[in-house]
A = this chain, B = another copy of it.
Amino acid sequence: MPLDLSEIDAAIHAPARLAIMALLASGDELDFVRLRERLGLTDGNLASHLRRLEEAGYVECTKGFAGRRPRTAYRILPRGRQAFERHVASLERILRAAPGEPPH
Interface residue ranges, A against B (CB under 8 Å):
2-5, 8, 13, 15-16, 18-19, 22-24, 26, 28, 30, 34, 37-41, 88, 91, 94-101, 103
Chain B's closest residue to A18 (CB) is: B94
Cβ contact of A2, chosen from B39, B100, B103, cutoff 8 A: B39
What 10 A-B pairs are tightest by C-beta distance, nearest first? A2-B40, A8-B15, A37-B103, A5-B15, A22-B97, A23-B99, A19-B94, A28-B99, A22-B95, A26-B99
CB distance from A86 to the nearest CB of B (A): 13
Cβ contact of A38, chosen from B16, B38, B103, cutoff 8 A: B103
Compute how far the CA of A41 lies from the CA of B3 in the bound complex, rounded to whole angstroms.
10
